[in-house]
Amino acid sequence: DTEVTQTPKHLVMGMTNKKSLKCEQHMGHRAMYWYKQKAKKPPELMFVYSYEKLSINESVPSRFSPECPNSSLLNLHLHALQPEDSALYLCASSLHAAGRGNTGELFFGEGSRLTVL
């Protein structure tokens, strides 16, 4: 299995809703990432988990709450979002975590397209 699987593919939510995005990989990768991508823009890093611990938080607002229940799963909990949070949310994984080996390929999921009304 060489895939990163994200669900749901599409999500529409109101500003008062609580929802979650899910990401799963079974490649034994030890680092997992959340990126946000607006149309025609590069992916912007939100969070990095290394060995299931949050290692990087790029000053993301608290209405986004990441969770890594185990080495294969990564969640992004959403609450009280704003319309400007509408974007494609990409999960990615890499074999090694920080300081544990050469940088390798980032494997991206297909993304969850979020619309906030």
Partner 1 sequence: GENVEQHPSTLSVQEGDSAVIKCTYSDSASNYFPWYKQELGKRPQLIIDIRSNVGEKKDQRIAVTLNKTAKHFSLHITETQPEDSAVYFCAASKGAGNQFYFGTGTSLTVIP
Q: Which residues bind partner 1 (CB under 8 A)?
A: 30-31, 40-45, 48, 50, 55-56, 58, 90, 94-106, 108-111
Rounded distance between C-alpha atoms, residue 56 and residue 35, angstroms: 12
Which pair of tokens denotes residue 47? Answer: 């969070």
DSSP 93: E
Q: Which of 79, 96 has the CB closer to partner 1? A: 96
CB of 20 to partner 1, least distance (A): 20
The least CB distance from residue 98 to partner 1, in Å, is: 3
Quote the least distance from Cβ 79 to partner 1, whole Å: 25
